[in-house]
């Protein structure tokens, strides 16, 4: 089955800890994205990558970091510098030049 997977589905973290969210796709898509979704605010872009070994900051990149060492993988690290990290995180991918993004099932992060 082709698709995009995120793990874990639920994640709990203590304040001051870094945590890494996984995103993997087997759709052979060049572009990958990370969004954060909060109630009433829709999707806000954190980082995106159009090609391996290259990525750009989105609108709310502070306190987050990413890497794109492989085409299939785009992990997101939520660092202790992120002031309000509790949210639903969505990863997406697309063919470059396409108007369709395919989304993963999301990871719900809760900071205790």
Binding positions for another protein, rule: CB under 8 A: 33, 35, 40-45, 48, 58, 90, 92, 96-106, 108
| Cβ distance to another protein smaller for residue 30 or 72 | 30
Cβ within 8 Å of residue 47, ≥6 positions away: 33, 34, 55, 56, 57, 58, 61, 64, 66, 76
Asked if 90 contacts 43 with a C-beta cutoff of 8 angstroms, the reply is yes
Between CA 54 and CA 68 the distance in angstroms is 7
Q: Shortest gap between Cβ of 23 and another protein (angstroms)?
A: 11
Q: Shortest gap between Cβ of 90 and another protein (angstroms)?
A: 6
Kind plus residue range of the DSSP H or E element containing 78: strand 76-78
Q: Shortest gap between Cβ of 47 and another protein (angstroms)?
A: 12
Between CA 94 and CA 53 the distance in angstroms is 17
| Cβ distance to another protein smaller for residue 57 or 70 | 57
| Cβ distance to another protein smaller for residue 8 or 105 | 105
Q: Shortest gap between Cβ of 94 and another protein (angstroms)?
A: 8
């Amino acid at each position: 089955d082709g698709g995009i997977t995120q793990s874990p589905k639920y994640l709990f973290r203590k304040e001051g800890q870094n945590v890494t969210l996984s995103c993997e796709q087997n759709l052979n898509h060049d572009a990958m994205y990370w969004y954060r979704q909060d109630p009433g605010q829709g999707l806000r872009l954190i980082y995106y990558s159009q090609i391996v070994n290259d990525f750009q900051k989105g609108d709310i990149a502070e306190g987050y970091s990413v890497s794109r060492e492989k085409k299939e993988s785009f992990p997101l690290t939520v660092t202790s510098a992120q002031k309000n990290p509790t949210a639903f995180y969505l990863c997406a991918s697309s063919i470059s030049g396409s108007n369709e993004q395919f989304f993963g099932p999301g990871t719900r992060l809760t900071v205790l």
